[in-house]
Chain A
């Protein structure tokens, strides 16, 4: 926003060398959906934890695929099928680069939820028996709880919750005690979708590995804000959804160690996952195809790759620095508003602020601020155990993306003031 009359910048603090300069106005311009009015007010989109908006690059990549390259993959010898296969496998390679993984360890699924179900039904069924335990943290989204409950019910095993403290951080001492000899798997999120808590994955995974317990990390909220290096992480499984990292809905990723994928039985049967089929004996395709039955979401994978390319071109460190500054600003702004109570004050936070305003129910709050153009989420955020932990039925949640701005934070503050006035 410089003008001819602005003073020349002086003595700017040098940015850390690995953080590229971040131009949020330029980034916003790349997201068509952000530039609209709702209820006659400019849209202020603060629900990125539910799903992010999509940059033009993603929308165009999907359109281009359908306009030019659309064909089925891994089958046809014609030109379009060759192009589609190249685009799909190219997308797998892009995902692998994003995760610092081997492409053969990248399985395309519908989303993080399907990835957890796949692991539960394939790896879980193989490993978990009667009397065994699966430890899941209280921070988990229902999608990282319920698949384990289904497995436990089938196997006569038990799902054991790992507690959190009043700040919304994992209780590591309690987790340490829970990881006993009967535990066959630990499921832990990278970032809580309801509180924004960033879990200390290195410590948690080290604890589990020391006891030989495999770990599944839910990266649905972590991937867009923090990214991941699965080699360094030392987990066994990492799952994420495309649509929360600026990609399309309907596509997601299961990353798993190669040795697990080799040993795991197929989950769903169908085309593409087999080597040969006869009524006497059917043999499985190699990994990861063994886990990709049926025609995949090819355009979705292409869109996801475009999203990951987009994020990596900007740089996750730059995105993380921008979002962290904005979260601090939002937290401070909310604390200024009389009656606002933050739910969860974790040591480290990413993407999300959960809060209450006086005794206004979060649903009423969300309706009122929506009429000011401000989109927030109200409810239990598919994380009812967290709500129970804090003795609440619901919270209001503002969540941020790389395109969020200080103006969004100010608009949220103004809208909350309007709600307080209406209810006073």
Chain B
């Protein structure tokens, strides 16, 4: 069960059950729809960007605990970040879920993202964890739809 409890850490279960920043965003400046065609998971991500900085990010939709927790944690982390900082954060996250915490020995830099350190043991769930990030990047790049395929 160890790998399972690495995947479903308390923080993930908590964010999965009670996602933060969940619901529509008033005055959004950009949005995108994320789809995981494999499982039918679906989320809509809305952001408010001003002066090149993400002021706020919220999401709606359906998904598993991993994808909801990922969207929940992400929408909290990107507040106040520039697009370049968001992109850098995504790269860290991507390396983490693909290769595990070993890929990024600097756990400090991972910050709250460290809770996704168990995902790499479950290759079929990487897309669940990544959906929110792909959708955010699409929104910031002005693309209406992101797909994990």
Which single member of A359, A368, A384 contacts B40 (CB below 8 Å)?
A: A384
| Contact across chains for B8 and A422 when beta carbons are under 8 A apart | yes
Interface bracket on A: 10 to 19
B77 in the interface, Cβ–Cβ < 8 Å?
A: no
Within 8 A of B (CB), among A352-375: 359-364, 367-368, 371
**Quick one: given A367-B7, A371-B3, A423-B13, are A394 and B66 in contact (CB under 8 Å)?**
no
Q: Which candidate, B25-33, B57-65, B96-104, B107-115, is the interface stretch facing chain A? A: B57-65
- Of the candidates A361, A387, A418, which one forms a contact with B65 in the assembled complex, judged by CB atoms under 8 Å apart? A361
| Cβ A387 vs Cβ B4 within 8 A | no
Are B41's CB and A393's CB within 8 A?
yes
Question: A129 interface residue, CB < 8 Å from B?
Answer: no
Contacts of B65 in A (CB 8 A): 360-361, 364, 423
Say whether A90 faces chain B, with CB atoms less than 8 Å apart: no
Tell whether, in the assembled complex, residue A379 and residue B42 are in contact, meaning their CB atoms are under 8 Å apart: no
Give the CA-CA distance A164 to B125 in the complex, in Å.
32
Considering the complex, give the chain B residue whose CB is closest to the CB of A368. B4
Q: How many A-B residue pairs have CB under 8 A?
A: 52
Closest to B61 in A: A393
Given known pairs A363-B128, A371-B3, the reply for A379 and B63 (CB within 8 Å) is no
Known contacts A363-B39, A364-B8, A394-B39; decide if A371 and B1 are in contact (CB<8 Å): yes
Given A361-B63, A363-B125, A367-B122; A393-B40 close (CB under 8 Å): yes
Q: Give every chain B residue within 8 A of A384 (Cβ-Cβ).
A: 40
The CA of A367 and the CA of B128, in the complex, are separated in Å by: 12
Q: Which residues of A contact B41 (CB under 8 A)?
A: 363, 393-394
A367 pairs with B124, CB closer than 8 A: yes
B84 at interface by CB-CB < 8 Å: no
State whether the Cβ of A380 lies closer than 8 Å to any Cβ in chain B.
Answer: yes
Task: Select A378's contact among B4, B39, B62, B63, beta carbons within 8 Å.
Answer: B39
Q: Taking the nearest CB of chain A, how far is it from the CB of B44, in angstroms?
A: 14
Q: Say whether A371 contacts B40, CB under 8 Å.
A: no
A-facing residues in B1-55 (Cβ within 8 Å): 1, 3-5, 7-8, 13, 16-17, 38-42
- With A367-B122, A379-B40, A387-B40 already in contact, the answer to whether A393 and B62 are too (CB < 8 A) is yes
Query: Given contacts A378-B39, A379-B39, A384-B40, are A364 and B1 in contact (CB under 8 A)?
Result: no
A376 to B84, CA, bound (A): 41
Q: Which residues of chain A have C-beta atoms less than 8 A from B40's C-beta?
A: 379-380, 384, 387, 393-394
Q: For the complex, what is the distance from the CA of A363 to the CA of B13, rounded to whole Å?
A: 14
Q: Which residue of A lies closest to B4 (CB)?
A: A371
Residues of A within 8 A of B128 (CB): 363
| Beta-carbon contact of B125 and A367 below 8 Å | yes
Which residues of chain B come closer than 8 Å to A423, judged between CB atoms? Answer: 8, 13, 65
CB <8 Å contact, B4 and A364: no
B39 CB contacts on chain A under 8 angstroms: 363, 378-380, 393-394
CB-nearest residue of chain A to B128: A363
Q: How far is the CA of A360 from the CA of B8 in the complex (A)?
A: 12
CA distance A318 to B60 in the complex (A): 49
> A360, A378, A393, A423: which has the most chain B beta carbons within 10 Å?
A393
Report the minimal beta-carbon distance from A361 to chain B, rounded to whole angstroms.
4
- Across the interface, do B42 and A393 meet the contact criterion of CB distance under 8 Å? yes
Chain A 403-424 interface 0/1 with B at a Cβ cutoff of 8 Å (1 = within): 0000000000000001000110
- B123 → chain A, closest Cβ, in Å? 11
- A371 CB contacts on chain B under 8 angstroms: 1, 3-4
Q: Enumerate 30 A-B pairs (CB-CB under 8 Å) in ascending A order.
A: A359-B17, A360-B65, A361-B63, A361-B65, A363-B41, A363-B64, A363-B125, A363-B128, A364-B8, A364-B16, A364-B64, A367-B4, A367-B7, A367-B125, A368-B8, A371-B1, A371-B3, A371-B4, A378-B39, A379-B38, A379-B39, A379-B40, A380-B40, A384-B40, A393-B39, A394-B39, A394-B40, A422-B5, A423-B8, A423-B13
Give the B-binding residues of A (Cβ under 8 A).
Answer: 359-364, 367-368, 371, 378-380, 384, 387, 393-394, 418, 422-423
| Given A371-B3, A393-B39, A423-B13, 7 extra CB contacts under 8 A | A368-B4, A379-B39, A393-B40, A393-B42, A422-B4, A423-B8, A423-B65
Identify the 4 closest CB pairs spanning chains A and B, nearest first: A361-B64, A363-B64, A380-B40, A379-B39
